Amino acid sequence: MTTYGSFPGSRPRRLRTTPVMRRMVAETRLHPADFILPAFVREGVSEPVPIQAMPGVVQHTRDSLKKAALEAVEAGVSGIMLFGVPEESKKDALGTPGTDPDGILQVALRDVRAEVGDDLLVMSDLCLDETTDHGHCGVLDDQGRVDNDATLERYAEMAQVQADAGAHVVGPSGMMDGQIGVVRDALDQIGREDVAILAYTAKYSSAFYGPFREAVGSSLKGDRKTYQQDPANARESLRELALDLEEGADMVMVKPAGPYLDILARVADAVDVPVAAYQISGEYSMIEAAAEKGWLDRDRAIFETLTGIKRAGARNILTYWATEAALKLR
């Protein structure tokens, strides 16, 4: 008599026999609407500039950025997260281009919003690292340390100019204590209660940011270990999460994604707001480099990592493959 609770009666492989069977019983499904495209726009260039450390990714011109945004819309991508790269001569200790209405990020926000309207969520990185001559995410004190509270004043100004420029969503990414509450207050003060906040809730001090430094022309010397999270800590992320939600975050994010899937799962289990994860530059570049050498199947690796991130609990994924992956899914 066959025993159905164990082998040979129970055969899980029956549900793996054909592509259609595997598709039907899949527990996790990727969809183009899951994706947000991070994009860089550089001031003062007439052609897109390839990022050597991120094959296939460029620093856009204003025109090529608009084209990339339209391509994302056509692919069914949900959002585009913009990072501005000002001319080096315009950077200063306070990150002035970040609050200048004519700074490259604000100009790009207006460009993209005019191009896509509400067909794509136009999102803006809210941080000073791209615009400061020292490359840190905040204002420095007289001892060269990042001054948390002085930085919050700058973030409030940035939130307001980014909202005025057309951002649907702002993404405070500097990991300053109190940043979400300050940004929410600043937006509400100018009547922009409609602008959402995507909180970079658990942003770890990671080696995988390396290629991003080239992408934004970073001037950083030293590291960001005094404000980004220590990779050794997990419970700390839940403390950050509670604070961000209390201060008014509409969505929360874990960054990086791949090395922190355990954190992503814990955050997703703890909240009832949308959870995002950022598949960062180093994660992207490792796969592209290995694929270029023929060491792995590029497309399979891309979709395996994206599936793993979603399976861990991400509702949305920021990935440099957003448009490409969305088109292939469709």
| CB 161 within 8 Å of CB 170 | no
* pLDDT (0 to 100) of residue 137: 84
Q: pLDDT band for position 248 (50/70/90)?
A: very high
pTM of the shown model: 0.94
Which pLDDT score is estimated for 214? Answer: 76
Asked whether residue 15 is assigned to any structural domain, the reply reads: no
Contact criterion met (CB below 8 Å) for 157 and 127: no
Distance CA 29, CA 7 (A): 29
Q: What is the pLDDT of residues 198-208, one digit of tens each?
A: 999 999 999 88
Contact 167, 123 (CB under 8 A): yes
Task: Answer whether residue 21 is part of any domain.
Answer: no
Identify the CA nearest to 320 among candidates 285, 296, 291, 276.
Answer: 285
Q: Is the pLDDT of residue 109 over 90?
A: yes
Annotated binding residue at 204?
no
Annotated binding-site residue? 16: no
Structure tokens belonging to residue 145: 């340390």
Percent of the chain whose predicted confidence (pLDDT) is above 90? 85
Say what the pLDDT of residue 136 is: 86
Q: Two tokens at 306?
A: 């994206």
**Residue 2 resides in a domain:** no
234 domain-assigned: yes
Active site residue 225: no
| 7 or 82: which leads in pLDDT | 82
27 is in an annotated binding site: no
**Domain assignment present for 13:** no
Query: Given this model, what pLDDT does residue 135 score?
Result: 80
Three-state secondary structure readout of the chain:
CCCCCCCCCCCHHHHHCCHHHHHHHCCCCCCHHHEEEEEEEECCCCCCEECCCCCCCEEECHHHHHHHHHHHHHHCCCEEEEEEECCHHHCECCCHHHCCCCCHHHHHHHHHHHHHCCCCEEEEEECCCCCECCCCCCCECCCCCECHHHHHHHHHHHHHHHHHHCCCEEEECCCCCCHHHHHHHHHHHCCCCCCEEEEEEEEECCHHHHHHHHHCCCCCCCCCCCCCECCCCCHHHHHHHHHHHHHCCCEEEEECCHHHHHHHHHHHHHCCCCEEEECCHHHHHHHHHHHHCCCCCHHHHHHHHHHHHHHCCCCEEECCCHHHHHHHHC
Q: Please report, rounded to a whole number, the percentage of residues in the chain having pLDDT higher than 70.
A: 98
Instruction: Please say if 90 is a catalytic residue.
Output: no
What is the average pLDDT across 149-178?
96
| 6 in any annotated domain | no
Q: What is the pLDDT of residue 82?
A: 98
Which residue range is the domain that position 287 belongs to?
A: 28-329
Which of 203, 221, 293, 328 is catalytic? The answer is: 203
As given in the structure block, the two tokens for residue 79 are: 């959002």
**Taking residues 173-187, what's their average pLDDT?**
96
Amino acid letter, 184? R
Q: Buried (b) or exposed (e) across 81-91, using 16+ Cβ within 10 A?
A: bbbbbbeeebb
User: Is residue 7 assigned to a domain?
Assistant: no
Residue 281 marked ligand-binding: yes
Q: What is the pLDDT of residue 1?
A: 59
**Total domains, the chain:** 1
pLDDT of residue 74: 98
Q: Is 224 annotated as a binding residue?
A: yes
pLDDT at 32: 98
**Quick one: pLDDT band at residue 255, thresholds 50, 70, 90?**
very high
| pLDDT of residue 64 exceeding 70 | yes
Among 73, 88, 5, CA closest to 39: 73
Residue 320 · residue 38 · CB < 8 Å? yes
pLDDT in tens, 185-240: 999 999 999 999 999 999 999 988 888 777 776 766 767 878 889 999 999 999 99
| Catalytic one of 66, 91, 255, 310 | 255
Let me know if residue 95 belongs to a domain. Answer: yes
